Structure 1
Amino acid sequence: MSTPLYQLKAEFFKTLGHPVRIRVLELLSTREHAVSEMLAEIGVEPAHLSQQLAVLRRSNLVVARREGSGVYYSLTDPQVSELLAVARGILSGVLAGQAELLADLRATTSEPSTPA
């Protein structure tokens, strides 16, 4: 029996559920990067980055190629960049809504209360 699509989607989003993996995908959305470049940008230990890259490779979100002594990573599908952009848009809307609620809350707490 095949795995239901909703379960596959859940596994996909679990793969995205780590800040280092998201940062790697964001970097790779612009262009191919060497591991050394990503280390400098992300600021994690090499072993930790390697572990997160392995998760992304197993999920077929990134592909590695070796050139000399360097290893370069790129996205397997440009739609990953689009997904990150959509997520950014959704978060912007959510945060804007929260900012409006906070502003409303501050405005109502600064007004003198009237007895009932």
Structure 2
Amino acid sequence: MSVPLYQAKAEFFRMLGHPVRIRVLELLQEGPRPVRELLAAIEVEPSGLSQQLAVLRRSGIVTAVREGSTVVYELAGGDVADLMKAARRILTEMLAGQGELLAELREAEVAAR
């Protein structure tokens, strides 16, 4: 029995739902990076980063290549970078709307005094 598409999408977004995974994907938008660079850019224990990278690798969102003793990660495809950019645009619009609401509330508070 196959999983309904909406459930598969929910699982996909749940998989993305960790701050370290999101940060890794943001960093990998700039190009492939060795684990040591990811560790330097993300304040997390090496074991924690390894765990989150494994989740991303198993999902197929990132790939890993060993170069000598170094493991280099990169995005598996451009669609992930597009998704991260879309998320940034959506979040920016949401926050802009909240800023407008906050300004209205402050104006109303001043007017009530």
TM-score between the two structures when normalised by the length of structure 2: 0.97
Q: Which has the larger radius of gyration?
A: 1
- Once residues 5 and 20 of structure 2 are traced to their aligned partners in structure 1, the CA distance between those partners, rounded to angstroms, is 26
Distance 1:63 1:50 in 2: 13
Q: Deviations over 1:59-110 (max 9, x none)?
A: 1100100001100000111110000000100000000000000000000101
Q: How many aligned residue pairs are there?
A: 113
SS at match of 1:36: helix
TM-score by length of 1: 0.95
Which aligned runs of 4 or more in structure 1 are off by greater than 3 angstroms? none
Matched, 1:100 2:112: no
Identity among equivalent positions (%) equals: 60
1:9 corresponds in structure 2 to 9
Cα deviation for residue 112 of structure 1 reads 3.4
Q: How does 1:13-24 map to 2 (within 5 A)?
A: 13-24=13-24
Q: Does residue 47 of structure 2 align to residue 31 of structure 1?
A: no
Unmatched runs of 5 consecutive residues or more in structure 2: none
Query: Aligned Cα RMSD in Å?
Result: 0.8
Distance of 1:59 and 1:11 partners within structure 2: 10
Aligned partner of 2:48 in structure 1 is 48
5+ residue gaps, structure 1, are none
Looking at structure 2, the residues matched to 112 and 24 of structure 1 have their Cα atoms a distance apart, in angstroms, of 47
